[in-house]
Structure 1
Amino acid sequence: MTEPDIEFHTNPTINTTDSSEAAAFFSKENHPLTLKFHNVVYKIKSKKSNSEEKERAILKGISGVVRPGEMLAMMGPSGSGKTTLLTAIGGRLGGRLEGTISYNNKPFSNKIKRNIGFVTQDDILLPHLTVNETLVFTALLRLPNALTKHQKLAHAEAVLSQLGLIKCKNSVVGDQRLRGVSGGERKRVSIGQEMLINPSLLFLDEPTSGLDSTTAQRIVSTLWELAHNGGKTVVMTIHQPSSRLFYMFHKILLLSEGNTMYFGKGSEAMDYFSTLGCSVSVPMNPSDFLLDLANGSSMNDPEEEATMIKEKLVSCYQNSDMAENLELEVKESDEHLDEDATINKRFERWSTTWWQQFSVLLNRGIKERKHESFSGLKIAQVLAVAFIGGLLWWKSDDAHLQDKIGLFYFSSSFWGFFPLLQAISTFPRERMILEKERSSGMYRLSSYFISRTISDLPMELILPTVFIVIIYGMAGLKRTATSFFSTLFYQLLSVLVSQGFGLAVGALVLDQTSATTLGSVIMLCFLLTSGYFVQHVPGFIAWTKYISIGTYTYKLLLISQYKATDTYLCPGHGVGVCEVGEFPAIQQMGLHGKTTAILALMAMLVGYRLVAYIALMRIGVTKKE
């Protein structure tokens, strides 16, 4: 069914009944998850100076257990492997991953993924949406159809309230270029997106990064409540928490160069290292002390080499009773967790239907991009070019046929580059959000791709239509309905083909600068071989005209205005008329083959988009998906 329009600011249909029913649904369907990871090893290939490949271990046999109601903090200096481990146990890391990772004694699966929330370090959000719109669209996409639409909206409202976002609910999220909510509020929005699905297991990568101590305290306190009172399993990476935050963590995993230096209760960490002869002589933040140790810095013996200190502490942990007990705990099978009831079965492969995903994504896309698509700068650019072109070709008649056909080449060139440069940045710019949402299984790629393409149509079709209307009248082109609508149709068709070409290049390259350079060079080649500048193209490169968007567009625009038997005043001082079909530039191009040209553009229209879709299939696909 189609999702109707959504009223975000005031929706009288959201009431306490909807909210309580949604809460009852999640309470009934809530099942705790125990996370176990044993001897996790991750290796990457790196090139040596002599170009030989060498494997480098990022994770070197990491083990741990986190149970419902517990909050695990993974600490360590930069490059210690925290984020890599978080990504691995979150089911988002493929490649050379070894070891065992289980969730209630079961491997990662799509059913498990529906119970996992993953908050990335960077807040990947659409900047022009409000806080409320962001959570509402996420709720409509991720929550199952067992909940009604009003219950989904009520649940989104409840999450807003839980995270203290009510006051800023109608403010735009913003980004570096658009002023929006604060950094702490933006982080809470990211967490709220994952809390919407009531995850049994929540992963967070540096949730306090860049925040002041008060805001960081508020966020971690919310996560503590979620674990302690909500029975959730919370795992996060954190670089250097304050002492107040440190003692809120139930468990600490200290990493150093991919090795475990400590895994156990946070309250016992200082005592453990004291037994190894590592103690502090002055009061200090425990996290500062642990990071010093992970970096190989010892206050007791400043002269001892860092490498030796790290190796010693890693070895001490591996030979400790703590590591031995953890080994037994990881290998121990919790038989009561093997029952099917422990796996949340409320989700199918997808939470919503294809049509629901398409409708929500289309609505979201229009709201997000309407500011960009119809920006005053773009409208002014098109209008300026149209009026300047109209003035240059003002009431041009067929006596100046070369000038007249130059107008058609200019129009095909301008509307070859303009939609190309607009479309080419689409997927490179949205890559991160597509990766995030696809990794969480929010929607099908096909629903995203088609909604994304359709939401761009107003911009792609309205502006060239206005351009043709202006320049057609000012340049004095053939005043018949057939000629006008033919010109408009051919121009719009070429615009859609150029847009598809831009989407394909952007999806293949996924780097905006490189994609723009590549697309511009290829489009320039297409225009050079279109038959306007060079009528006698050398045979070894003449084949390029058959794949050129400009060739077919230029031909069709000529056909829309002329027939071979049309006449014009012969050039020079002579008298009489000549046939248009005999004009050298037109004779070389030919005024035949209209059907072939249309079919060629239609094939490109479908083909380029198919290439873009296939290229996007590699984005945001997690292991075992």
Structure 2
Amino acid sequence: MQFDEVVYKIRIEPVGGLLKKKTKPEKRVILNGVSGSVYPGEMLAMLGPSGSGKTTLLTALGGRLGGDLTGTITYNGKPFSNAMKRNTGFVTQDDVLYPHLTVTETLVYTALLRLPRTFTKADKVEHAEAVIAQLGLTRCRNSIIGGAFLRGVSGGERKRVSIGQEMLINPSLLFLDEPTSGLDSTTALKIVSTLWELANGARTVVMTIHQPSSRLFYMFHKVLLMSEGNPLYFGKGADVLTYFSSVGYSPSVAMNPADYLLDLANGVATADSNEDQVAIKQNLVKAYKTQLSTVVKLELAVEGSLHTSSDDRMLKRWSNTWSDQFSVLLRRGIKERKHTSFSTIKIVQVLIVAVLVGIFWWQSSIDNLQDQVGLFFFISNFWGLYPLFQAIFTIPNERTMLTKERTSGMYRLSSYFMALTVGDLPMELVLPTIFYAIVYWMAGLKRTAGAFFSGLFVILYNVLISQGVGLAIGAVVMNQQTATTLGSVIVLAFGLAGGFFVQHVPIFIAWIKYISINQYSLKLLLASQYENDQTYNCGINQTCLVRDFPSIKSVGISMSGTILSVVVMAVMLVFYRLIAYLALMRVGVTRK
């Protein structure tokens, strides 16, 4: 891999108020003419203080940085392509893993998705097992990954799992962002030793690292030192102190070379130096341009003996078929999300609400028609609100994982979305079924199978649509706090326009009822329980038609209204999920 005069700029919008003069946005230089090369069998470490641009450069070299990026980056003499993406591993600083999956499950599912269809399922599993053994993860192979609030494997083991996911494809080029961050020195040494062995296996390894120990530093074949986006050194790690001594900067005492390099990058020459920090940085940038830049350029001009793989045409296609991707994603999604969907607190919550509702409406009678209408409205509202807020957090929580896997070209967006939709069905429909069965029996509603199952159908129908609304809000907004606020407003508006609280809505806002899920679900629930010509006792020795009851009349229980409600809700079911899918297309992907 070679990179020549890489420059990256970001646009900074001016901060101003109403009284301040409007100014044009400025551009800030993040990378300023960085060059270098790294070959198979070499491990390049990019060092520098926070904000030096090393992570930005790594992201650019990995083909994951858009925007105002100029310069030349080539792989085997060619620009970045889908074929190259399939043969490149990228390990982010934060380990993006599913917390409830075990180490083995995590690597097996990744192997099933990333390895090409030419491998059988048994071959892919065997490959995952080999990576587990290679990375020393055998002891924790059946332990869950864990997370912030879930005990799992250690930080070092989690990092090795992340590296293992990329090793599954046997990458010729491996990028790692701060692979030793937050780890003790012994664990960090184990990880870098593993990477060193990978590099010795004719792979190219590029990493950013903040402050490695001296043992780690001397394992690097090449070092790139950066400060404020400018290169200060590029070359062999063993020659770095010799170079800085030649330009007038050498440590006053024996110390870790990495520590001294960071001091220089921060503008600190020695502990007792009075030289200005800005001046030191300027001197080092000038020294690089006059003494090292030409050497780096000469190395870039030398043609390597590398050739593009003959499998380039094959790699441009998806590794697996749509159905294989869907199957693996479905199984993985169910295994991971069942822990949250069927968590104890959610089950207890639904059961408590069901029992409370059953007690309040205990053995209600049709003669207390207002009470029964209120019951159906509450059920419609509850199962419109509950699944909506559950679904709002689904996509924002999975955004990082989706971005990581889609950027690696693991699967199509359509296969992911369908697996997400289908996988949620059994989990999202079980609790409302139990809820409705409890409430239906305790409230003493109509004792016929037809009435019960038609009402249950409406509840499940309502759940699916509300879930679609939640997915759409979460995918469009992507900010959980903002999405929750927007969801609350939508639920409130749908509830007020549902036809129970207000029958005479002002005409300028009456249109909301036509998009209110609550109105259509309430209409269907009433139709499942009452007939158009059914009567009830509305006074002493006096009967009235159910359809003329004010709360029912404003909603209606006619056959035509029932059919229309079913059709409109079907349109909503498709529409909101389509919005969610279209919104997802902008989440860090290059292929749909």
- 1:86-485 matches, cutoff 5 A: 86-228=58-200, 230-299=201-270, 302-320=273-291, 322-334=292-304, 336-337=305-306, 339-341=307-309, 346-485=314-453
In the alignment, is the contact (CA less than 8 A) between 2:111 and 2:124 conserved in 1? yes
Paired residue for 2:581?
613
Q: What displacement does 1:346 show? A: 4.9
Distance 1:504 1:300, change over 3 A: closer
| Whole-angstrom CA distance in 1 between matches of 2:578 and 2:13 | 35
Distance 1:202 1:342, change over 3 A: farther
Q: What displacement does 1:117 show? A: 0.1
In the alignment, is the contact (CA less than 8 A) between 1:564 and 1:582 conserved in 2? no
| Whole-angstrom CA distance in 1 between matches of 2:78 and 2:457 | 57
> 1:561-620, CA deviations, whole angstroms, 9 ceiling, x for partnerless residues?
11232111114xx43101111111211212121111111111111111110011111113
Q: What displacement does 1:345 show? A: 5.2
Q: What displacement does 1:49 show? A: 3.3
Paired residue for 1:22?
none
- Mean Cα deviation higher: 391-400 or 160-169: 391-400
- 1:448-597 matches, cutoff 5 A: 448-571=416-539, 574-592=540-558, 593-597=561-565
> 1:84-118, CA deviations, whole angstroms, 9 ceiling, x for partnerless residues?
00000000011111111110010110001011000
Q: What displacement does 1:270 show? A: 0.2
Q: Residue type matched to 2:68 in 1?
A: R
Q: What displacement does 1:484 show? A: 1.3
| Whole-angstrom CA distance in 2 between matches of 1:130 and 1:73 | 31
State yes or no: 1:80 paired with 2:52: yes
3-state SS of 1:43 partner: strand
3-state SS of 2:258 partner: helix
In the alignment, is the contact (CA less than 8 A) between 2:113 and 2:328 conserved in 1? yes
> 1:217-254, CA deviations, whole angstroms, 9 ceiling, x for partnerless residues?
010011001001x1000000000000010011000000
| Whole-angstrom CA distance in 2 between matches of 1:452 and 1:331 | 49
| Whole-angstrom CA distance in 2 between matches of 1:410 and 1:333 | 73
3-state SS of 2:368 partner: helix
| Whole-angstrom CA distance in 2 between matches of 1:472 and 1:585 | 20
Q: Residue type matched to 2:243 in 1?
A: Y
Q: What displacement does 1:343 show? A: 6.2
| Whole-angstrom CA distance in 2 between matches of 1:350 and 1:610 | 23
> 1:416-473, CA deviations, whole angstroms, 9 ceiling, x for partnerless residues?
1110111110011111111111110111111111111111112211111111111111
| Whole-angstrom CA distance in 1 between matches of 2:368 and 2:458 | 23
| Whole-angstrom CA distance in 1 between matches of 2:448 and 2:499 | 27
3-state SS of 1:577 partner: strand
| Whole-angstrom CA distance in 1 between matches of 2:135 and 2:398 | 27
3-state SS of 1:570 partner: strand
- Mean Cα deviation higher: 126-135 or 369-378: 369-378
> 1:529-556, CA deviations, whole angstroms, 9 ceiling, x for partnerless residues?
1110000010110000111111111111
Q: Residue type matched to 1:160 in 2?
A: I
| Whole-angstrom CA distance in 2 between matches of 1:233 and 1:122 | 22
Paired residue for 2:19?
none
Q: Residue type matched to 2:356 in 1?
A: I
| Whole-angstrom CA distance in 1 between matches of 2:342 and 2:141 | 25
Where structure 2 has 5 or more consecutive residues not aligned to the other structure, the ranges are 17-21
In the alignment, is the contact (CA less than 8 A) between 2:6 and 2:31 conserved in 1? yes
Q: What displacement does 1:333 show? A: 3.9
Q: Residue type matched to 1:270 in 2?
A: L
In the alignment, is the contact (CA less than 8 A) between 2:224 and 2:233 conserved in 1? yes
Q: Residue type matched to 2:11 in 1?
A: K
| Whole-angstrom CA distance in 2 between matches of 1:570 and 1:208 | 76
| Whole-angstrom CA distance in 1 between matches of 2:129 and 2:551 | 66
Q: Residue type matched to 2:293 in 1?
A: A
In the alignment, is the contact (CA less than 8 A) between 2:76 and 2:308 conserved in 1? no
In the alignment, is the contact (CA less than 8 A) between 1:69 and 1:232 conserved in 2? yes
| Whole-angstrom CA distance in 2 between matches of 1:232 and 1:343 | 18
State yes or no: 1:600 paired with 2:565: no
| Whole-angstrom CA distance in 2 between matches of 1:516 and 1:280 | 55
3-state SS of 1:533 partner: coil
TM-score in terms of structure 1 length: 0.92
| Whole-angstrom CA distance in 2 between matches of 1:159 and 1:345 | 27
Determine what percentage of the aligned residue pairs are the same residue. 63
3-state SS of 1:405 partner: helix
> 1:487-546, CA deviations, whole angstroms, 9 ceiling, x for partnerless residues?
111111011000000000011111222211211211111011111000001011000011
TM-score in terms of structure 2 length: 0.97
3-state SS of 2:502 partner: coil
3-state SS of 1:79 partner: coil
3-state SS of 2:509 partner: helix
| Whole-angstrom CA distance in 1 between matches of 2:524 and 2:271 | 83
Paired residue for 1:41?
7
Where structure 1 has 5 or more consecutive residues not aligned to the other structure, the ranges are 1-34
Q: Residue type matched to 2:253 in 1?
A: V
> 1:148-192, CA deviations, whole angstroms, 9 ceiling, x for partnerless residues?
111111111111111000011000010111100000000000000
- Mean Cα deviation higher: 345-354 or 211-220: 345-354
Q: Residue type matched to 2:350 in 1?
A: V
Q: Residue type matched to 1:102 in 2?
A: T
| Whole-angstrom CA distance in 2 between matches of 1:358 and 1:517 | 33
RMSD: 1.4
Q: What displacement does 1:354 show? A: 0.7
| Whole-angstrom CA distance in 2 between matches of 1:130 and 1:466 | 30
In the alignment, is the contact (CA less than 8 A) between 2:455 and 2:525 conserved in 1? yes
- Mean Cα deviation higher: 200-209 or 476-485: 476-485
| Whole-angstrom CA distance in 2 between matches of 1:368 and 1:166 | 22
> 1:317-371, CA deviations, whole angstroms, 9 ceiling, x for partnerless residues?
0111x3102113224444x43x544665553421111111111111111111222
Q: Residue type matched to 1:48 in 2?
A: P
Q: Residue type matched to 1:379 in 2?
A: I
In the alignment, is the contact (CA less than 8 A) between 1:115 and 1:344 conserved in 2? no
- Mean Cα deviation higher: 325-334 or 213-222: 325-334
Q: What displacement does 1:475 show? A: 1.1
| Whole-angstrom CA distance in 2 between matches of 1:426 and 1:112 | 31
